[in-house]
Structure 1
Amino acid sequence: MNASPPAPETLRGAWIALAGLSAVFLFEMLDNSILTVALPTIGRDLHTSTVGLQWVTGAYSVVFGGLMLAFGAIADRFGRRRVMLTGLVLLGLASLATAFVTSTEQLIAVRLTMGVAAAMTTPGSIALAFRLFAADGLRVRAMSLITTVGLVGLAIGPTLGGLVLAVAPWQILLLVNVPIAALAFAGIRGGIAADRPDELHRDPVDVIGAVLGTATIVLALVAPTLFVDEGTGSWSPWSASAAAVVGVILFVIRMRTAAHPLLDLALVARPLVSSGLAYKAASGLALAGLGYLVTLQLQLDWGWPPALAAIGMLPQVVVLVASGPFVGRFVGRVGLDRAAWLSAAAVVLGLAVYAVLGHLGYVWIAMALALVAAGIRVNGVVAGTNVLRGLPENRTSIGAALVDTASEVATGIGIAVTGTILAALFAGDIATGGWSSRQTAQFHEAVTLGGLTLTLVAGALVAWGFVRTRVARSGA
């Protein structure tokens, strides 16, 4: 067996690999944000219904979230680098196919394929970045750099999309993924060594567990959308939720009884792993729920036009992008474990500020957005690092997939919680202008209750994560 090359001692020593991994994360963040601004144009061009437009974006997210665990397990079995390179080829081909799309169904098929490619590549970017370096400090700085590139894409996506649409057809917005995939492929192939046999495991792939896990996650992601779209009076969101619960039970039974389970639940129960997942779930819950409530408040309650409401979200974007250079210094000063719970606590504090004071004026909303963004910016790096630190080397891909899955599912739950509370307390069509004084009072009550509910749930997750971190520290 060949000896592995020495781990780089600086970020510059791994710049080729980091460029490739950053391109992967750029695709994930840029994709939906740049496409959203084109949805009206796509609707007119392809004669797409409202439901069709919803699936143009939703199909990608559901497939992406549902398949991450399965591909994480496959990558740990057959090679992280190999699976990622295959996913990048699939991404490039699917993006090229956009040039030949002539119907909504074809576009949804392209988006489904891109979701599969994203599930193959995104968890691997965290696992490979972790594997590149031996020192935790360099791992944190590398992940911070990668996420900063992605967040820049998230921030400029809508603006870039609007500028492109002014001079070119909407297909260009998806064709831009082709050079991104090519850059990522070249960087990863040239900068990261092939997986060594001792870094992988040879257990058979748990196909039944993969099917159960994928179905459960898909149902968990679809149910919140159904609650928001169809309301609590419809049978379909409750049916999807019940099916998701049944799926969880069957998945756990399978994981406990299979000879070679897709996900060893004993690994998830490790203190560092469970604490990192709890912190990540709290962040996903806060980001989605707060963004949903603030957007509705600015536009529907205060009457801000969409452009002004977008400017109103800038504190969040600015903090997410600008705080990147400070993450490594902060973590180096306080340590990984303390940085994890402090950043998660900032997320809960931001939610509490919004729930209690957000109705008093925009300055409090801006403060809440900034606090949540600052917490997420640190937590997004250190929570993932802690999860991977707590796992064996041959399980890092499924660990990274767990981190992303926890965030995706928590995002769906955050929107479901706030959407369900609004639907239960607000009488009438919330999108219709000219609210009565009674409807305005109902909206304010729903926003406060929704914000407090998110605060309590996120706070419970952070408290659990803190306890598990203390257990890990005492065990060490």
Structure 2
Amino acid sequence: MPQEAADRSPHSPRSLRQAWVALAGLSAVFLFEMLDNSILNVALPTIGRELHASTTVLQWATGAYAVVFGGSMLAFGAIADRFGRRRIMLLGLLLLGAASLATAFVTTADQLIAVRAVTGVAAAMTTPGSMALAFRLFEEDGLRVRAMTLISTVGLVGLAIGPTAGGFVLAIAPWQVLLLVNVPIAVLAFVGLRAGIAADEAADLHREPVDAPGAVLGTATIVLALVAPTLFVNEGAGNWAPWTATAAAAASGALFLLRERTARHPLLDLALIARPLVAGGLAFKAAAGLATAGLGYLVTLQLQLDWGWTPALAAVGMLPQVVVLVAAGPFVRPFVDRVGLDRAARLSAAAVVCGLAVYGLLGGFGYPWVAIALVLVAAGLRVVGVVAGVNVLRGLPRNRTTIGAALVDTASEVTSGISIAVTGTILAALFTGDITASHWSGEQTGQFHRALTTAGLTLTVLAAALVGWGVVRVRRAAPEPAPVAVDEAIPEPV
């Protein structure tokens, strides 16, 4: 563990039970992140009819949130490390409550997009801080893993039940009610953080000036990187718009790196990212984001367009992934205790790559192989989602933990977008005609199968490269101490 985090605070909780108020608030933050867009997707057809919105406008109703959220996380992470993580999170929760209340007054699609963009700002202010505060709340890595497992399990349960619950709500209430649910969640989170977590101490913050040019360039890079995949899918690889966005993202990214190398007080100290634990954790998290987004996109198309499953049956077909993500929570901590954080990160990231490989090589031979791929990727994601974040924060100074958490989320967001761009481009290049047509010719069916195999194996190679790089970097870190058993007298609350 870094020297900056070596000193144990006498006020640190010695169990999850002692920190239940804070954990309730932090879990509510993650519940909002997981529930928000998934529950909105259920209402999109209803919203389209009531607001007379086109398909593109509806896409931006969800896309505006994702782009603003992903694009502003680094900036708010840096601000939180300077002015207080708890303070920024509480302000973000107030903004979230206000934006959610504003949904009740939405009458046009443009207003909805604006509200969703503000909600994305609120998410960027709160989500990275939830990981950073959960990490800082405890001094033992075992308790940190248990806390993050608990928090992520609450969010994943919300993700699993959100669409179904949303469907029932729409049968009896206006669609606005679905987004108004964020108000009580924000209140719960605010009360939990206010009562359960002390304000940041001045010694744990830093007062370097905010790198405004770096923040602008970093935000522009991530926004363009997230917009480009949408343009590839909507406009096609033959259109100039997605390639222009990609080139602009690369140019602004290069300028951002140049700025951070030469600035006296950079937004993101590149030397910190080069630390072995940080670089390895980010690579593992990026591979997981790449695999999850790409596999979900490909399987959804395969089940409905190739095999002719109805949307409801396709949702059932994705259940193996949902079940593993939710039910595997109690097994994460024992697994990490047994093999250690670093080995757990390597093994779980390797499971993600194996899942992609199974799909790319065997997914066309029947649903059982698709189910196995979903289970492997979900199992790997369930572990790596916790341990990669812990490793990144272990490798950073205490006054950089929030931007570290923002980096973890940003890595996943960006590679998810890249994954959709890669798969969409391969499908567009190999499949001729309208992919959504009700009947395909034999030649088109063959083209689709080749595209699925090519996309699945391409994602496998990319994910394997990220995992390989992560393994090399982590092995350069100091040897990890033997796992410390967590107090077994305290029942696991998950």
- Tell me, yes or no, if structure 1 residue 79 matches structure 2 residue 91: no
Unaligned residue ranges in structure 2 (runs of 5+): 1-7, 482-494
Give the corresponding residue for 1:30: 35
8 Å CA contact retained: 2:9, 2:139 = no
Root-mean-square deviation over aligned CA pairs:
1.0
- SS across alignment from 1:88: helix
Give the corresponding residue for 2:488: none
Give the corresponding residue for 1:219: 224
Give the corresponding residue for 1:257: 262
- Tell me, yes or no, if structure 1 residue 169 matches structure 2 residue 174: yes
- Alpha-carbon displacement from aligned partner over 1:64-110 (angstroms, at most 9, x marks no partner): 00000000000000000000000000000000001111111111111
Give the corresponding residue for 2:160: 155
- Counterpart code for 1:447: L
How many angstroms does 1:5 deviate by? 5.5
Rounded to whole Å, the distance in 2 between the matches of 1:247 and 1:5 is: 45
- Counterpart code for 2:455: G
Give the 3 Å change call, closer, same or farther, for CA 22–474 of structure 1 in structure 2: closer
1:358 to 323, 348, 363: 363
1:423 to 396, 419, 428: 428
- SS across alignment from 1:70: helix
Rounded to whole Å, the distance in 2 between the matches of 1:145 and 1:416 is: 32
- SS across alignment from 2:478: helix
Rounded to whole Å, the distance in 2 between the matches of 1:327 and 1:474 is: 22
Rounded to whole Å, the distance in 1 between the matches of 2:34 and 2:142 is: 24
Rounded to whole Å, the distance in 2 between the matches of 1:396 and 1:209 is: 18
Rounded to whole Å, the distance in 1 between the matches of 2:338 and 2:197 is: 30
- SS across alignment from 1:448: helix
Give the 3 Å change call, closer, same or farther, for CA 475–346 of structure 1 in structure 2: closer
1:291-306 mapped onto 2 (5 Å cutoff)? 291-306=296-311
- Counterpart code for 1:198: A
- Alpha-carbon displacement from aligned partner over 1:357-403 (angstroms, at most 9, x marks no partner): 11111000000000000000000000000000000000000000000
- SS across alignment from 1:432: coil
Give the corresponding residue for 1:121: 126
Rounded to whole Å, the distance in 1 between the matches of 2:395 and 2:118 is: 32
- Counterpart code for 1:182: V
Rounded to whole Å, the distance in 1 between the matches of 2:357 and 2:480 is: 33
How many angstroms does 1:140 deviate by? 0.3
TM-score, reference length from structure 1: 0.99
Rounded to whole Å, the distance in 1 between the matches of 2:211 and 2:140 is: 33
- Alpha-carbon displacement from aligned partner over 1:190-226 (angstroms, at most 9, x marks no partner): 0000000010001001111001000110000000111
2:48 to 43, 47, 53: 43
Rounded to whole Å, the distance in 2 between the matches of 1:94 and 1:225 is: 25
1:82-161 mapped onto 2 (5 Å cutoff)? 82-161=87-166
- Alpha-carbon displacement from aligned partner over 1:138-196 (angstroms, at most 9, x marks no partner): 00000000000000111111101100000000000000000000000000000000000
Rounded to whole Å, the distance in 1 between the matches of 2:325 and 2:478 is: 29
Give the corresponding residue for 1:443: 448
- Counterpart code for 1:195: D
Rounded to whole Å, the distance in 2 between the matches of 1:432 and 1:463 is: 40
Give the corresponding residue for 1:275: 280
- Counterpart code for 1:317: V
Give the corresponding residue for 1:52: 57
Rounded to whole Å, the distance in 2 between the matches of 1:429 and 1:398 is: 43
8 Å CA contact retained: 2:21, 2:193 = yes
- Alpha-carbon displacement from aligned partner over 1:108-129 (angstroms, at most 9, x marks no partner): 1110100000000000000000
The runs of at least 4 consecutive aligned structure 1 residues that moved more than 4 Å come to none
8 Å CA contact retained: 2:286, 2:466 = yes
How many angstroms does 1:433 deviate by? 1.5
- Tell me, yes or no, if structure 1 residue 314 matches structure 2 residue 319: yes
8 Å CA contact retained: 2:287, 2:463 = yes
How many angstroms does 1:51 deviate by? 1.2
- Counterpart code for 1:81: R
Rounded to whole Å, the distance in 2 between the matches of 1:233 and 1:441 is: 22
8 Å CA contact retained: 2:342, 2:480 = no
- Tell me, yes or no, if structure 1 residue 67 matches structure 2 residue 81: no
Rounded to whole Å, the distance in 2 between the matches of 1:281 and 1:473 is: 23
1:223-234 mapped onto 2 (5 Å cutoff)? 223-234=228-239
TM-score, reference length from structure 2: 0.95
- Counterpart code for 2:104: A
Give the corresponding residue for 2:248: 243
How many angstroms does 1:430 deviate by? 0.5
- Tell me, yes or no, if structure 1 residue 461 matches structure 2 residue 473: no
- Counterpart code for 1:305: T
Give the corresponding residue for 2:205: 200
Percentage of matched positions with identical amino acids: 76
- SS across alignment from 1:260: coil
Unaligned residue ranges in structure 1 (runs of 5+): none
Rounded to whole Å, the distance in 1 between the matches of 2:451 and 2:408 is: 30
8 Å CA contact retained: 2:275, 2:395 = yes
Rounded to whole Å, the distance in 1 between the matches of 2:379 and 2:467 is: 16
- Alpha-carbon displacement from aligned partner over 1:385-441 (angstroms, at most 9, x marks no partner): 000000000000000000000000010011111110000000011111110000000
- Counterpart code for 2:443: R
- SS across alignment from 1:195: coil
How many angstroms does 1:474 deviate by? 5.4
Give the corresponding residue for 1:335: 340
